[in-house]
Amino acid sequence: MYPCETDYGTVLYATSNNAFQVRAPHRVKWLGRRLGKDNYEIYRRWIGLSPSKVDELKGKGAI
């Protein structure tokens, strides 16, 4: 199968033979969340940055 992903382009992935159906073939809508979708949460919870520090670093182009 070759779905077109917005961040990665065309991607080849394997499906199970048991998943094959004639009337409703297997489809993949997306392969995962967009790159950088969870960055703000990671900066806040895992790294411990304050919201103002995250905004400051983003304004400087560091993140």
- pLDDT for res 59: 93
How far is it, in rounded angstroms, from Cα 61 to Cα 63? Answer: 5
pTM: 0.50
- pLDDT for res 1: 47
Contact assessment for residue 12 and residue 26, using Cβ atoms and an 8 Å cutoff: no
Q: Decide which of 21 and 56 is more confident.
A: 56
Contact assessment for residue 3 and residue 28, using Cβ atoms and an 8 Å cutoff: yes
Span 25-58, pLDDT tens digits: 666 666 777 778 889 999 999 999 999 999 999 9
Dihedral sign for Cα atoms in the order 6, 11, 16, 19: positive
- pLDDT for res 36: 84
Separation of first and last alpha carbons in the chain = 35
Residue extents of the structural domains in the chain: 1-32, 33-63
H or E element at residue 33: none
